[in-house]
Amino acid sequence: MVNFLAPVYLSKQLYPQLKASENARVVMVSSAAHMMGKIKKDDPESRKKFKHIKAYSNSKLNILLATKLLANDWANDNIIVNALHPGVVNTSLFDKFPGFLKRLTKLLTISPKKGAQTSIYLAAEPEGGLVSGKYFAKRKQKRASVRAEKAENIEWISELLNHYLSRIQNA
């Protein structure tokens, strides 16, 4: 849940500064793993049955839904909000893998520098600020999953965010 709530909460906290800026952009890091994500209305925190990859995929789907929601909510404020898949980046995440798998991941992953390219594109390059509420990979707009596009899911994420953000503010 934190994987999804943290960037959305930070973005909402920065809203006054974003609104006051001329060309504000919010870049959310999602993942192609969102394609495996599911809407868990009955268990958004995966408390009943937790599996790492499913929770990760669900959080990345939730980030895409929140991207759409914020892009819609902030459209009249000239705030651009987009999400991206950075690629499978060779980070310390793979350091605990056994020797053979660690060597294999080095062959199948990209460098952090290459993984950052789409984030930089969306945050700083003129073309990266032409659309809002979209999903990108390799510096190009891509189709998100059907679940990430459904209006009923965006409405659900809005309700979920309101619930959790009010709990955070009342804590």
* Residues recognised as catalytic: 56
Sign of the CA dihedral running 17, 162, 145, 108: positive
Alpha helices in the chain (DSSP H): 2-13, 15-20, 52-73, 99-108, 112-115, 117-124, 151-169
Mean pLDDT of 30-43: 93
Q: Taking 80 as the threshold, does the pLDDT of residue 102 lie above it?
A: no
What percent of the chain stands above pLDDT 70? 100
Question: Band of the pLDDT at 80, cuts 50, 70, 90?
Answer: very high
Query: Does residue 94 register a pLDDT over 80?
Result: no
CB 135 within 8 A of CB 142: yes
Q: What is the pLDDT of residues 106-153, one digit of tens each?
A: 888 899 999 999 999 999 999 999 999 999 999 999 999 999 999 999
Per-residue pLDDT at 64: 98
Predicted model pTM = 0.91
**Confidence (pLDDT) at 83:** 98
* Per-residue pLDDT band at 17 (split at 50, 70, 90): very high
User: Where does the pLDDT of residue 35 fall: very low under 50, low under 70, confident under 90, or very high at 90 and above?
Assistant: very high
Average model confidence (pLDDT) for the chain? 93
The full length of the chain comes to 171
